[in-house]
Amino acid sequence: MDIHKPKPFHNWREFAKEYAIIVLGVATALAGEQIAEKLHDRAKAAEARASIRAEVAQNLGYMERRDASESCTAKRLDEVGGLIAVLAAGNLPQDALYIGTAELGEMDDGRYKSATQSGAVSLFDDKEQAAYATLYKMFEFYGQLNLEEWNDWAILRALESHPPASPALDAQLRSALQLARAHRWGIQGTRLVALKAAAAIDIMPTPVPKIRLPDSCMPLHTTRQEAMKLLMHPDEWNLEPPK
């Protein structure tokens, strides 16, 4: 095999010409790589953005679904307050009671976490990153309030078993009722702030279908068996405050 030795340069002009060709080729290759990388990052950011915005809209939809039963929840807490009072007086009715619980709002963050871990979120500008971080902090707080509220209602459901009156039980029930009201207030406030923050970046709630009748919309004097049956029959759902 013949090996061709590079031709010697006869002058600086020839050397400069060859050098310029090499530099131009390398620069073109690097520029092409940078353009390809930017296009890839742009596509990655667009995909992550669409996914996150869809998740935000869905979480707002969960908040709206919960809000649809707030009148029932407020009414039920007032009824529970009345039951606590008559229990303390030793006059708790012995007919069936169904306390239930407030609607549990689901908050998802899987898409946001995935985009963060993949580095896609870092491709957004600072303002957009801050907007999503703020919203997901609200979602986290909203979810925590829901869990705490769930525990409050678990204590209040002791009334369903018609327990004997005692000062200790009375104090426990009154404390749980006060906490349930405080947590409900926090949930309502967080929803309003989240809706405003999302609207600022043009994200509206995605309607989320109701999968069951909210517990707090169940008539108070209902057996648990009747309640479970009614929960699974959408045609009989009624979101009006219980009578």
CA–CA separation, 127 and 140 (whole Å): 20
Q: Are 9 and 15 in contact (CB under 8 A)?
A: yes
Q: Are 233 and 62 in contact (CB under 8 A)?
A: no
Residues 10-31 have pLDDT tens digits of 556 666 666 666 666 665 656 5
Confidence of residue 243 (pLDDT cuts 50, 70, 90): very low
Domains in the chain: boundaries = 12-236
Q: What mean pLDDT is reported for the chain?
A: 85
Name, in order, each residue with C-beta under 8 angstroms of 139's C-beta and a sequence gap of 6 or more.
59, 107, 109, 194
pTM equals 0.79
CA–CA separation, 184 and 72 (whole Å): 12
CA–CA separation, 145 and 188 (whole Å): 10
CA–CA separation, 179 and 177 (whole Å): 5
The answer to whether residue 242 scores a pLDDT higher than 50 is no
Mean pLDDT of 54-64: 96
Report helix angle 167-199 to 70-88, nearest 10: 170
Q: Are 206 and 60 in contact (CB under 8 A)?
A: yes
- State which of 80-94, 97-111, 147-161 shows the largest mean pLDDT: 147-161
